[in-house]
Amino acid sequence: MKLDDSEQAMLAGEQGPARQWAIEQQIAVGNFFDARDMVPVHQVHIMADTESLGDSGVEFLEKFAGLCWKERHCLVPTVTDPRGIDLESYKALNQEEAFAERERRTIAAFRALGVMMTDTCINYQIIMPPVLGEHLAFGDTGSVIYANGAMGARSNFEGGPAALAAALSGRVPRYGYHLDEKRRGTRLFEVTAQPRSLSDWGALGGVVGRHLESYWEVPVLHGLAARPTSDQLKHFGAALASYGSVALYHIIGVTPEAPNIQSVFDGAAPAPEPVSERDIAAFYRSFGVHADKVDVVVFAAPQLSLIETQSLSRLLDGRRVHAGTTLIAALPPAVKADADRMGYTATIEAAGGTVLQGVCFYNMYARETGIANGWKRLLTNSAKLVNIIQGYGYEPVLANMEACVDAAVAGKMTR
């Protein structure tokens, strides 16, 4: 890889061991993907929940946190993805004190590096929305695909250590979705289904994602009559990235790099693959129903926007969650503060629901927390969550927000 003077200095250790580690990691990954050089980034988003970090990851962060400020601070604005523990709620959720202690150490280390603890996966909605063409190092598949697809910004999946490296070096290796030629469509989906609810949009992402083979595929959707909202694209992209492990999509006539079909393919477009209402219905059916009992109803993955939180509070207003069922909503801290101020938190809690902040359900030690609380039969409106949570020992079912709330009140699915 071609390195500039600053990168050479980092590699030589002239800017301390943290930046040296960072550039070494980036050179290894850059060489792996045949990157020719590095590209500066405007913003970094770090996924670093403590379940993933483990003790070894926390100790790694603490090593850098102990350096002098000049050698340890992030060179570009750096924000965090959800944490593994909500320190205000973990005791009520029967989560272990050891997990909380690991979380406190991680937060202290990140603060020492100058990281802003936003603790959200929807940073693109509530912190600083990406801009067409800007290079970023985003660290959650849902945030990357939103930045690339909905906004036309440029990021690869930068996992926790890679995002940390980007924060310390201020750049990333230039490969994948930083390059014009990698952003062209590879598959065309002709969509006759008309998604309405957030879970419908998630299901659409899941259906398309299940057809995709690898990270390097760029699905193009054509035929959608609806003009999606930001929350709808959020659920669509999060599910598409979760099932397909892809980082970019185009929707003809909706997303900024796709005014028409000709503009997103090199040469003739591939044969269209149909996606119908039947495919969406079959996707829901593939997860079954919980007609006998629902242990836990979850609104998360992605965390809720203020608009989703308002919708949830209206659906729960004056009702009562069944004694045998737990209802959880995971909010970014910034949204939680607004929801508190506007009374949505109080409404949800008055109905017996639990509002968590700064966490998401699957990365808050889902296996241990499920066992501690007797949760197995899970219901959610997140197509992403039903995909992830099976590996943690849950039996997940997908339904729209209204049906999820009805089931939470009845203690089982009634429709």
Which positions lie near other proteins, rule CB under 8 A?
25, 28-29, 31-33, 47-49, 52-57, 60, 139-141, 156-162, 176, 213-216, 241-242, 245, 362-363, 367, 387-388, 390-391, 393
| Minimum separation from the CB atom of position 240 to other proteins (A) | 12
| Minimum separation from the CB atom of position 193 to other proteins (A) | 24
Q: What is the DSSP-derived secondary structure letter of residue 272?
A: P
* Nearer residue to other proteins within complex by CB, 28 or 346: 28
**Tokens encoding 167:** 């924060």
| Minimum separation from the CB atom of position 346 to other proteins (A) | 33
* Nearer residue to other proteins within complex by CB, 18 or 224: 18
Task: Find tokens 């017996």 and name the residue.
Answer: 352
CA distances from 364 to 9, 69, 99 (A): 39, 30, 9
| Strand-strand pairing, 171-173 and 38-40 | antiparallel
Burial label for 21, CB within 10 Å (0-12, 13-18, 19+), is buried
Residue 310 zone, left/alpha/beta (φ > 0; ψ -120 to 50; rest):
alpha
In b/e form, how buried is each residue of 352-387, taking b as 16+ CB within 10 angstroms?
Answer: bbbbbbbbbbbbbbbeebbeeeebbbbbbbbbbbbb
* Nearer residue to other proteins within complex by CB, 90 or 362: 362
By the 8 A CB rule, do 74 and 113 touch?
yes
| Minimum separation from the CB atom of position 143 to other proteins (A) | 10
| Minimum separation from the CB atom of position 35 to other proteins (A) | 11
* Nearer residue to other proteins within complex by CB, 99 or 354: 99
At 214, is the secondary structure helix, strand, or coil? coil
| Minimum separation from the CB atom of position 96 to other proteins (A) | 14
Q: How far, in Å, CA of 257 to CA of 61, rounded? A: 38
| Minimum separation from the CB atom of position 320 to other proteins (A) | 34
CA distances from 328 to 301, 321, 368, 380, 385 (A): 12, 11, 16, 10, 13
* Nearer residue to other proteins within complex by CB, 55 or 97: 55
* Nearer residue to other proteins within complex by CB, 336 or 384: 384
The H-or-E segment that residue 184 falls in is none
* Nearer residue to other proteins within complex by CB, 54 or 274: 54
